Structure 1
Amino acid sequence: MLRVGLTGGIGSGKSTVAGRLAEHGAVLIDADKLAREVVQPGTPGLAAVVEAFGAEVLAPDGSLDRPKLAAVVFNSAEQRERLNGIVHPLVGRRTAEMLASAADDAVVVHDVPLLVEKNYAPMYHLVVVVDADVEERVRRLAETRGMSPQDARARIAAQATVEQRRAVADVWLDNSSTPDRVLAQADALWADRLVPFEANVRLRRWGRYGNPRLYDYNAEWPLQAARLAARIELVTGGLRVDHIGSTAVPGLPAKDIIDLQVTVSSLDQADGFAEPLTAAGFPVRPENTGDRGKETKRYHNCADPGRLANIHLRVEGSEDWRNALLFRDWLRASVEERASYVQLKQGIAKRFASAGDLAEVATAKDAWFDSALPRAQAWAEATGWQP
């Protein structure tokens, strides 16, 4: 099962994307819809809301008068939290029931307006954010909900910012234009990423790596690494996760593959996380358990075909654990050494341009690392560096 978090600000049109993915076969769990269901007349949820906010939030027919309730909670963070404390646990239980009933090969799309605000992003294999220009959102809210421009802007301002949403977005869909454009984006997302990602998770396999082509440094790499790290931290109960390798060195050209190092206390501890990490979209590579053939780590990859990544679980204090952090920080600090390393990488990329196995590429760099290690160690001693 693939769990996809879908979110977007009010008026962004995420429901359009949710509907399209459902048409393709996704199991849609709509948090807003569930929030309405759990406070229907006769439910314990509605009784709890009336007890908290009074009978004046009821309509004449005994149902919840949503505009009246909104007027009570919208301008009060305390009242909003009070309402959320009633509704969210009920929605959570219903969500869990729907997840439990989904097929093993399902792509479950969880439409959650407060995904960013509640820090839910690490719970999903992938997070999709739908966005649109503010002016377009204001226009839509006036047209479809009868909101005044002032009310619409106030609602938008009360939600997560664009920057906060970008920080959690594995996929960003711009819905500022006509619906056909975002629908085309949703179609491509389904076919090119969600379907193969689900199969990879279910079959415990990883995205296949191509040739060692170098890409110019991408400022998105650290953000992508942080999102992967947050998922791993959630699964491992908060173990240290570091972004290492070339994509962690600003300005350094690199293969478009994120490397993360997870610090474990022992290889037995690492083995204990094999199944949880695999279920979270990071399948184990049992044939690759060490550095240069030594039994020094456990090795996982990312199952997401849209974000290749290597996950190295190494024991704290071990030589390879320390060197991974040392080389990253040393290269960050030295322009000259970065230039030397880039020259090596460019030669390797040319030499192995048609290689089908990147293991050969890693071996080709060993001699450079061996010769560079004394220089990195000298830098560490001179600066007082610690891992």
Structure 2
Amino acid sequence: MGLTGGIGSGKSAVARRLVELGAVVIDADLLAREVVAPGTEGLAEVVAAFSDRVLDADGALDRAAMGELVFADEPARRRLESIIHGRVRARTVELTAAAPPDAVVVNDVPLLVEVGLAPAYHLVVVVRTEVETRLARLARDRGMSRAEAQRRIAAQADDARRAAAADVVLANDGALEQLHAAVDALWRDRLVPFEINVRHRRAVRMDQVQLAEPDPTWPQQYARLADRIRHAIAPDDLRIDHIGSTAVAGLAAKNVIDIQLSVPSLAEADGVLAERLAKAGFPALPGQWWDSPRPAGSGRWEKRLHGSADPGRPVHLHVRVTGSPGWRYALLMRDHLRADPDQRAAYLALKRELAASAPDVGTYATAKDPWFDEEHLRAEEWAARTGWRP
């Protein structure tokens, strides 16, 4: 898990509570000090880059002097980061590997969003606090002037950018007891079962259909998941698409993000790729999987299906061969429904009717087949008329 938040947000209070609950917390700030401690290669490289004016009387790094030197100098700041960040990452890997196999490992990283680390974690938690509250805390706890605190806050990512990277946002404008209650619930309801599911390669399943009203954040949630998948399968560079009802604005849907991963062959999907996805929290669902062919009776469209180990974010990850009928159909139906408001409304009415009368997932899916058989013909006519390509 990645944990972050702006200066003065109370991120450290969340980290301390997670330690009390049993998490292994790796503090990037502490590691950043460790890798430039006296006698380290890191400190020697800093001095070589910036001279000994950044040392105090005892030969240690004068962090205040270093901060003043690089704060308003972008090239200098990037040079310092190039010295420190790689060493912090290497040390983080060592500490993570040393944690117990059933540990929830929390990386406490102040600049997690700024340096683009979010896709590397199973889950990203952001602590968010109103700016005025943060300014008051920085004055009270760190003795900062208002101007200095404002300058530090402005130098970091804003709330909107952090929220875009966050799977969970913890509000921290109230009492400490309220924050602890939110952290405790996150630990109990999401982090612990998530860890168990990742370790046992177990995906979250939904047995009953419950339609959620259209959620404008579904595309943003997909984007985070896609970034995580892309990071997991690197260096492979495979196409990833948001498909299904959550990819069509205005449609109510099961609160499951459908994603399509394009592969050269299913044989390749079954090897190293499946293992990388499982480690990233997207384990393969057992059994054989295929799509209902259109038109009916034209043979099974085989695929692989992965789910999500995260109990807070169900996912169906459809792994299909690029250019195959099922692959093309998923993209065609998504784009056709996006383009045709009448058919989108008809599909929404059908979904609501079936969810009420056939709430079992299997029955619900089968009951939609006749409508999709007809809709497929309309979609093909639309594709021919508009020149659509996948």
What is the letter of the counterpart of residue 267 of structure 1?
L
Q: Which moved more, 1:54-63 or 1:241-250?
A: 54-63
Q: What's the secondary structure of 1:114's corresponding residue? A: coil
**Deviation of the 1:44 alpha carbon:** 1.6
Structure 1 length as normaliser, TM-score?
Answer: 0.96
The alignment of Structure 1 onto Structure 2 pairs a total of residues equal to 381
Partner of 1:364: 367
**Deviation of the 1:288 alpha carbon:** 3.5
CA deviations 1:146-170 (Å, max 9, x no partner) are 1111111111111112111111100
Q: 1:281, 1:201 → 2: CA distance? A: 6
Q: How does 1:65-214 map to 2 (within 5 A)?
A: 65-214=62-211
Q: How does 1:1-387 map to 2 (within 5 A)?
A: 4-236=1-233, 237-272=236-271, 273-292=273-292, 294=300, 296-353=302-359, 355=360, 358-387=361-390
What is the letter of the counterpart of residue 274 of structure 1?
A
**Deviation of the 1:18 alpha carbon:** 0.8
What is the letter of the counterpart of residue 373 of structure 1?
H
Q: What's the secondary structure of 2:345's corresponding residue? A: helix
Whether the aligned pair in 1 keeps the contact of 2:209 and 2:364 (CA below 8 Å) is: yes
**Deviation of the 1:42 alpha carbon:** 1.6
What is the letter of the counterpart of residue 281 of structure 1?
G
Q: 1:182, 1:379 → 2: CA distance? A: 52
CA deviations 1:230-255 (Å, max 9, x no partner) are 11111223311111000111011111
Q: What's the secondary structure of 1:296's corresponding residue? A: strand
Q: 1:55, 1:234 → 2: CA distance? A: 39
Runs of 5+ consecutive residues of structure 2 not aligned to the other structure: 293-298
**Deviation of the 1:70 alpha carbon:** 0.5
CA deviations 1:275-316 (Å, max 9, x no partner) are 111111011013142113835211000110000010001111
Whether the aligned pair in 1 keeps the contact of 2:308 and 2:316 (CA below 8 Å) is: yes
Q: What's the secondary structure of 2:259's corresponding residue? A: strand
The runs of 4+ residues in structure 1 deviating greater than 4 Å are none
Q: What's the secondary structure of 2:61's corresponding residue? A: coil
Q: 1:299, 1:29 → 2: CA distance? A: 34
Q: What's the secondary structure of 2:323's corresponding residue? A: coil
Q: What's the secondary structure of 1:204's corresponding residue? A: coil
Whether the aligned pair in 1 keeps the contact of 2:243 and 2:334 (CA below 8 Å) is: yes
Partner of 2:296: none
What is the letter of the counterpart of residue 15 of structure 2?
A
CA deviations 1:204-249 (Å, max 9, x no partner) are 1111314111111001111111111111111223311111000111
Q: 1:150, 1:288 → 2: CA distance? A: 61
What is the letter of the counterpart of residue 194 of structure 1?
L
Superposed CA RMSD: 1.2
**Deviation of the 1:359 alpha carbon:** 2.5
What is the letter of the counterpart of residue 198 of structure 1?
E
Q: What's the secondary structure of 2:352's corresponding residue? A: helix
Q: 2:363, 2:95 → 1: CA distance? A: 46
Whether the aligned pair in 1 keeps the contact of 2:301 and 2:326 (CA below 8 Å) is: no
Q: What's the secondary structure of 2:211's corresponding residue? A: coil
Q: What's the secondary structure of 2:26's corresponding residue? A: strand
Q: What's the secondary structure of 1:313's corresponding residue? A: strand
What is the letter of the counterpart of residue 337 of structure 1?
Q
**Deviation of the 1:14 alpha carbon:** 0.6
Q: 1:386, 1:336 → 2: CA distance? A: 22
Runs of 5+ consecutive residues of structure 1 not aligned to the other structure: none
What is the letter of the counterpart of residue 85 of structure 1?
S
Q: 1:79, 1:146 → 2: CA distance? A: 26
Identity of aligned residues (%): 55
Q: 1:285, 1:294 → 2: CA distance? A: 18
CA deviations 1:96-147 (Å, max 9, x no partner) are 1101111111100001111111111111100000111111111111111111
**Deviation of the 1:366 alpha carbon:** 1.3
Structure 2 length as normaliser, TM-score?
Answer: 0.95
Whether the aligned pair in 1 keeps the contact of 2:301 and 2:325 (CA below 8 Å) is: no
Q: 1:288, 1:134 → 2: CA distance? A: 52
Whether the aligned pair in 1 keeps the contact of 2:29 and 2:110 (CA below 8 Å) is: yes
